[in-house]
């Protein structure tokens, strides 16, 4: 029994930095949940820089953070694990910004400071987990970050939405203004946000103390080959240098940047669909899945799907997981359209939300795995910015205009048309990812790098090559 206990304690402290970084995404989810709620609650007010300013500031800060970490990689020729310090700075901004949500009219000030923490956490958190994790835990930890993020969104919607509904009931039968309806709706959210921010600050400081004492290690990767390459300075070696060093292999076209840019585009499209359908299921009277008082339930269902995704990723790759969830989305969308048209039942749409949660983290995982190790934070910045842009565009062109004849349509033909558009886009995303993304399940990061470089040296891959292609030069070989 003592050996079992010591093993559990050793495992816990071994992965403690990764667990803490995952939890850092919880306040980020609260911030984004506030953004969604404020967009909806204040959509009848005139839009100005206060609405989009925090998102713009977050994108700018993420760019500066990514460029700073990139510069250090060029100077030191290795990965420096300074991300815990960045996360501590983000924690300070979380604590300070949460205080502004207590006072009416100052929530926009808090939003600007919150998005500083939001952007720092995204770039530093994903960058840290990408390289510190072992080959078996990498996808699980990144998926865990996404689950914590969705948990924060669901919590924020519950807290803010509950208070907003109380204001609606208070002014029932009266011609209440938007200012009256949003009065004090962020107070409960502020208290929760402040509590979580303080706890996370304490945990991050405690983790740093344990690192100094030698109990945990936040500066060495659990991926042995990556740790060795980082120590000897070969982690950023070029494709040509890899070809010179390796033996017994064939070389095909370099696919890394092609796959990376393709995944960035696909992820932006998928995230825009996710945001669109979340708003659609919440605000469209014909498609609303629950009463306004319980609208947060759909976010809890999405969160439950993300937790289920962590279990699924224990057994197969993020690529297979994404393609599978997209195919199931196609099937369920067809069933939902048929059932809704025949019986007006929306039960099937709840299953769609579970699949939203299950597929939420997949593209983020494969994007991080195939990206160039030197430019990881820059790719995270682009991914993060595209998410903010998608949210802004969907809100501006569809949600903000309450007279939008497409988004708020109630007639059956328009609803079915939107379903068909969603099916077409979903099938294309599944096809692109299934064809272009390599296998990465439980693979070492350097092995993934070599695969997207087009360097084939695994025995089973060489056996699958067509010998005629090799002879006529379609696939160039390296002669020793």
Cα separation, 159 vs 207, whole angstroms: 30
Q: What is the pLDDT of residues 359-396, one digit of tens each?
A: 999 999 999 999 999 999 999 999 999 999 999 888 88
* DSSP codes joined into one string, 132-199: HS-TTTHHHHHHHHHHHHHHHHHHHHHHHHHHHHHHHHHTTTS---HHHHTTTTTHHHHHHHHHHHHH
> Residue 178: what pLDDT?
67
The CA-atom distances, in angstroms, between 123 and each of 35, 159, 273, 333 are 19, 27, 23, 34
CB 43, CB 400: distance < 8 Å: yes
- Among residues 25, 12, 62, 21, which one has the least CA distance to residue 204? 21
> What 3-state DSSP class applies to 455?
strand
Cα separation, 322 vs 300, whole angstroms: 20
Cα separation, 275 vs 137, whole angstroms: 28
Q: What is the pLDDT of residues 56-115, one digit of tens each?
A: 999 999 999 999 999 999 998 888 899 999 999 999 999 999 999 888 778 888 899 999
**Residue 46 scores a pLDDT above 80:** no
> Residue 68: what pLDDT?
94
Neighbours of 464 (CB within 10 A): 9
**Residue 284 scores a pLDDT above 90:** no
- Among residues 372, 271, 350, 358, which one has the least CA distance to residue 308? 358
> Residue 397: what pLDDT?
85
Q: What is the pLDDT of residues 301-358, one digit of tens each?
A: 999 999 999 999 998 889 999 999 999 988 988 888 888 877 878 888 899 999 999 9
Cα separation, 72 vs 340, whole angstroms: 55
Q: What is the pLDDT of residues 215-260, one digit of tens each?
A: 888 888 888 888 988 888 888 888 888 877 765 567 778 888 999 9
> What 3-state DSSP class applies to 286?
coil
Phi, psi of 465 (to 5 degrees): -75, 145
Cα separation, 157 vs 37, whole angstroms: 6
> Residue 312: what pLDDT?
92
**Residue 44 scores a pLDDT above 50:** yes
Q: What is the pLDDT of residues 401-430, one digit of tens each?
A: 777 778 888 877 778 888 888 888 888 888
Containing 444, the helix (H) or strand (E) segment is none
Q: Name the class of domain 2-471.
A: mainly alpha
> Residue 460: what pLDDT?
45
- Residue ranges covered by each domain of the chain: 2-471
State the residue for tokens 């497409």. 406
- Among residues 68, 455, 57, which one has the least CA distance to residue 255? 455
State the residue for tokens 């930095």. 17
- How high does pLDDT run on average in the chain? 85
Going by the DSSP 8-state scheme, the letter that residue 403 receives in this structure is T
The CA-atom distances, in angstroms, between 441 and each of 144, 190, 241, 320 are 16, 40, 26, 9
**Residue 457 scores a pLDDT above 80:** no
Phi, psi of 152 (to 5 degrees): -65, -40
């Amino acid at each position: 029994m003592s050996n079992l206990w010591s093993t559990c304690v050793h495992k816990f402290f071994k992965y403690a930095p990764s667990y803490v970084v995952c939890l850092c995404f919880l306040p980020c989810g609260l911030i984004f949940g506030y953004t969604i709620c404020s967009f909806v609650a204040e959509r009848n007010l005139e839009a100005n820089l206060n609405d989009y300013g925090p998102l713009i500031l977050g994108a700018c800060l993420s760019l500066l953070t990514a460029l700073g970490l990139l510069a250090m990689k060029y100077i030191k020729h290795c990965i420096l694990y300074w991300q815990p310090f960045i996360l501590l700075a983000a924690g300070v901004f979380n604590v300070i910004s949460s205080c502004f949500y207590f006072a009416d009219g100052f929530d926009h000030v808090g939003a600007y400071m919150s998005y500083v923490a939001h952007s720092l956490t995204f770039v530093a958190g994903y960058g840290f987990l990408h390289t510190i994790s072992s080959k078996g835990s990498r996808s699980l930890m990144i998926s865990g970050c996404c689950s914590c993020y969705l948990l924060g969104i669901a919590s924020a919607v519950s807290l803010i939405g509950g208070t907003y509904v109380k204001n609606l009931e208070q002014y029932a039968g009266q011609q209440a203004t938007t200012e009256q309806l949003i009065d004090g709706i962020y107070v409960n959210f502020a208290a929760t946000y402040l509590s979580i921010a303080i706890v996370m600050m304490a945990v991050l400081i405690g983790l740093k103390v344990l690192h100094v004492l030698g109990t945990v290690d936040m500066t060495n990767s659990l991926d042995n080959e990556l740790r060795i390459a980082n120590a000897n300075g070969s982690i950023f070696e070029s494709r040509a240098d890899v070809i010179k060093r390796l033996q017994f292999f064939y070389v095909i076209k370099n696919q890394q940047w092609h796959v990376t840019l393709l995944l960035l585009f696909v992820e932006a499209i998928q995230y825009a669909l996710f945001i669109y359908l979340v708003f659609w299921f919440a605000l469209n009277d014909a498609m609303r899945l629950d009463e306004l008082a319980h609208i947060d339930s759909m976010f809890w269902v999405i969160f439950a799907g993300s937790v289920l995704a962590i279990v699924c990723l224990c057994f197969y790759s993020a690529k297979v997981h994404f393609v599978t969830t997209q195919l199931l989305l196609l099937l369920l969308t067809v069933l939902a359209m048929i059932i809704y048209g025949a019986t007006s039942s929306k039960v099937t749409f709840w299953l769609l939300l579970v699949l939203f949660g299950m597929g939420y983290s997949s593209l983020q995982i494969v994007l991080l795995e195939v990206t160039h190790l030197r430019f990881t934070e820059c790719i995270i910045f682009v991914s993060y910015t595209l998410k903010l842009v998608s949210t802004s565009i969907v809100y501006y062109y569809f949600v903000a205009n309450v007279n939008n004849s497409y988004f708020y349509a109630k007639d059956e033909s328009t609803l079915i048309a939107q379903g068909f558009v969603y099916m077409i886009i979903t099938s294309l995303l599944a096809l692109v990812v299934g064809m272009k993304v390599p296998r990465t399940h439980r693979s070492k990061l350097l092995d993934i790098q070599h695969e997207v470089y087009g360097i084939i040296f695994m025995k089973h891959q060489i056996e699958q090559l067509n010998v005629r292609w090799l002879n006529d030069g379609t696939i160039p070989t390296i002669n020793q």
